[in-house]
Amino acid sequence: MERVSFEMEFIFRASPTIIYKFLTTPACLVRWFCDSVDIQEDTFTFEWNGAEEVAFMIDDIEEERIRFHWEDAADNEYLEFKMEVSPVTNETILNIVDFCDDDEVDDQKQLWSNQMDNLRREMGG
């Protein structure tokens, strides 16, 4: 199976400061992303339904970009959240880059859409 990258863009009324907090703090991550998370320096251990996945934060520009590398992923793969404020609407644009098998792109996009709905609901924006 070939691995491919895909990008998605979501609009939020919340500031990059609030979004950044929801992407990097355990108390906020468990509200929309995972069942639990343990953060030790740049190592994030996420848990879903009893299964753990480890990700390393490989890039962190506060309120601008966060990039993770999953422990079991290929070297060139990552999960990236990039935030920018629209100069026209003053809303925050959250761009996500992720990787998956080429036959799973639609499913992964649906998963991220659901996750972003959860995030928006939790943030109120």
Q: Report the topology of domain 3-33+59-123.
A: Alpha-D-Glucose-1,6-Bisphosphate; Chain A, domain 4 (3.30.530)
- Extract the tokens encoding 110: 């649906």
pLDDT digits (tens, 9 = 90+) for 50-64: 999 999 999 999 999
**Within 13 Å and on the Cβ side, how many CA atoms surround 93?**
11
81 forms beta bridges with: 66, 96
- Whole-number pLDDT of residue 1: 81
Residue 85 φ then ψ, to 5°: -95, 130
Q: How far apart are CA 94 and CA 74, in angstroms?
A: 24
Kindly list the distances between the CA atom of residue 103 and the CA atoms of 9, 57, 106, 116, in Å, as whole numbers in the listed order. Answer: 21, 27, 8, 22
pLDDT digits (tens, 9 = 90+) for 78-118: 999 999 999 999 999 999 999 999 999 999 999 999 999 99
Q: How far apart are CA 76 and CA 27, in angstroms?
A: 29
In sequence order, the 6+-apart residues with CB closer than 8 A to the CB of 111 are none
pTM of the entire predicted model: 0.93
Of 86, 104, 87, 103, nearest in space to 95 by CA: 86
Name the band, by pLDDT with cuts 50, 70 and 90, for residue 124. Answer: confident
